[in-house]
């Protein structure tokens, strides 16, 4: 079996972590008996500065036939983020209907959480983030009305279809896991979209009598992720709230450099995109100290998605074993001195 994979390393440490993680996935192929046909796309901010666009006009046509996409990160300190992100990552998520953004948080053995009293295995939840509409709908405008009179409107879009499909996926996940779903909204302040969202959660809940539903406002949820993370199983949230909650998830499980993510089109009508939760990290770029494990674990999610669950488990086990081994190489975010490539090569060897 050969899988047709697109890579978009993108900007900053995105390039380093994808370069480091790819050999791990190829090695998984050797061990578990499949191959990758990789097409690397040099789309990103450098291209934008030379040619005026983050990606070519036919980018989506080029990506569409692929089995999956592995992306590093997008964003450069010299170009406004709304230009780069609306020019590359966000249009792919939307065009390919990747409405499920699945972001697991696992505290691995051997990794220190900044939360006191939590050890490996104590934290294990997954956020189902709505990924195509909500606060990222790109509806609004800005007007300069002279003097100090600027006005900007940024609307959030919630459709029944859009909410129902992510909520149903989250319920399915909860029923396969520990049977608990936390619905995170802000329906005390946002009485339209968030109330529609809450109503739909209540409706869909009737299809899943085995799942217990908890309701939290996003401010309290942020607090509780820090205060009692062990009690969460599956969380479902809008695009923006899911974004914020998953940075909290990353840091309480030890590092931004450990958190993977899958942007999935569950129907398989379009390719899904796998990427670390983190960004291009301009503060550490060019030093080869970025932790590659978030990207390696995103690669494991890719393997699972294309139909290689054993290889996915193999990669996860190799990462788990590395993190649990006191003498194994670690990048500085985990208190070590190893480079991005040393860490990735060590995972590869453990496969």
Buried residues in 42-78 as b, exposed as e (16+ CB within 10 A): ebbbebbeeeeebbeeebeeebeebbbbbbbbbbbee
- Return the structure tokens found at 95: 């065009």
Closer to ligand NAD at the Cβ: 7 or 331? 331
257 contact, one of Mn ion, ligand NAD, ligand IPM, none, CB 5-8 Å limit per kind: ligand NAD
Helix, coil or strand: residue 41: coil
Single out the catalytic residue among 37, 150, 219, 317.
219
Among residues 317, 339, 326, 294, which one has the least CA distance to residue 110?
326
Q: How far is the CB of 292 from ligand IPM (least distance, A)?
A: 17
Residue 346 annotated as catalytic: no
Residue 224 annotated as catalytic: no
135 is a site residue for Mn ion (CB under 5 A): no
In angstroms, the Cα distances linking 229 to 104, 106, 116, 122, 185 are: 13, 10, 12, 8, 18
Give dist(CA 214, CA 258) in Å, integer: 27
Residue 136 annotated as catalytic: yes
Closer to ligand IPM at the Cβ: 87 or 329? 87
90 is a site residue for ligand NAD (CB under 6 A): no
Residue among 85, 95, 252, 321 that touches ligand IPM (CB under 6 A):
85
Residue among 75, 193, 299, 314 that touches ligand NAD (CB under 6 A):
75
- Return the structure tokens found at 150: 């600027």
257 is a site residue for ligand NAD (CB under 6 A): yes
What secondary structure does DSSP assign to 302-339, as a single string? Answer: HHHHHT-HHHHHHHHHHHHHHHH-TTS---GGGT----
Q: What are phi and psi of 2, to 5 degrees?
A: -120, 125
Single out the catalytic residue among 67, 186, 233, 346.
186
Single out the catalytic residue among 99, 136, 233, 270.
136
Q: Residues 259, 105: contact at Cβ < 8 Å?
A: yes
Q: How far is the CB of 247 from Mn ion (least distance, A)?
A: 6
By the criterion CB under 6 A, which residues form the site for ligand IPM? 85, 90, 243, 277, 279
Give the residue numbers annotated as catalytic, written as ranges: 136, 186, 219, 243, 247
Residues that bind ligand NAD (CB under 6 A): 13, 17, 73-75, 81, 85, 89, 256-257, 275, 278-284, 290-291, 294, 331, 333
């Amino acid at each position: 079996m050969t899988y047709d994979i697109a890579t978009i390393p993108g900007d900053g440490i995105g390039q380093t972590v994808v370069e480091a993680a790819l050999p791990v996935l190829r090695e998984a192929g050797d061990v578990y008996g499949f191959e990758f046909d990789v097409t690397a796309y040099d789309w990103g901010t450098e291209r934008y500065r030379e040619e005026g666009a983050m990606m070519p006009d036919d980018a989506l046509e080029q990506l569409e036939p692929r089995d999956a996409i592995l992306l590093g990160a997008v964003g450069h300190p010299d170009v406004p983020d709304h230009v780069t992100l609306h020019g590359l990552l966000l249009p792919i998520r939307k065009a390919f209907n990747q409405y499920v953004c699945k972001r697991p948080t696992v505290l691995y053995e051997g990794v220190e959480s900044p939360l006191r009293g939590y050890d490996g295995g104590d934290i294990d939840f997954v956020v189902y983030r709505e990924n195509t509409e909500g606060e990222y709908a790109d509806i609004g405008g800005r007007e300069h009305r002279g003097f100090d009179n600027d006005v900007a409107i940024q609307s959030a879009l919630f459709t029944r279809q859009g909410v129902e499909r992510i909520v149903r996926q989250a319920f399915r996940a909860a029923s396969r896991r520990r049977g608990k779903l936390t619905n995170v909204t802000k329906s005390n302040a946002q009485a339209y979209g968030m109330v529609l969202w809450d109503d739909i959660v209540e409706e869909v809940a009737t299809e899943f009598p085995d799942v217990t539903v908890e309701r939290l406002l996003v401010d309290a949820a942020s607090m509780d992720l820090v205060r009692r993370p062990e009690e969460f199983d599956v969380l479902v949230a809008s695009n923006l709230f899911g974004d914020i909650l998953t940075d909290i998830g990353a840091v309480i499980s030890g590092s931004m450099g450990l958190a993977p993510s899958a942007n999935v089109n569950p129907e398989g009508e379009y390719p899904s995109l796998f990427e670390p939760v983190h960004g291009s990290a301009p503060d550490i770029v060019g030093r080869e100290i970025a932790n590659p494990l978030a990207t390696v674990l995103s690669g494991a999610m890719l393997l699972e998605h294309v139909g290689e669950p054993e290889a996915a488990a193999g990669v996860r086990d190799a990462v788990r074993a590395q993190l649990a081994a006191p003498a194994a190489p670690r990048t500085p975010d985990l208190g070590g001195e190893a480079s991005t490539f040393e860490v990735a090569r060590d995972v590869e060897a453990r496969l």
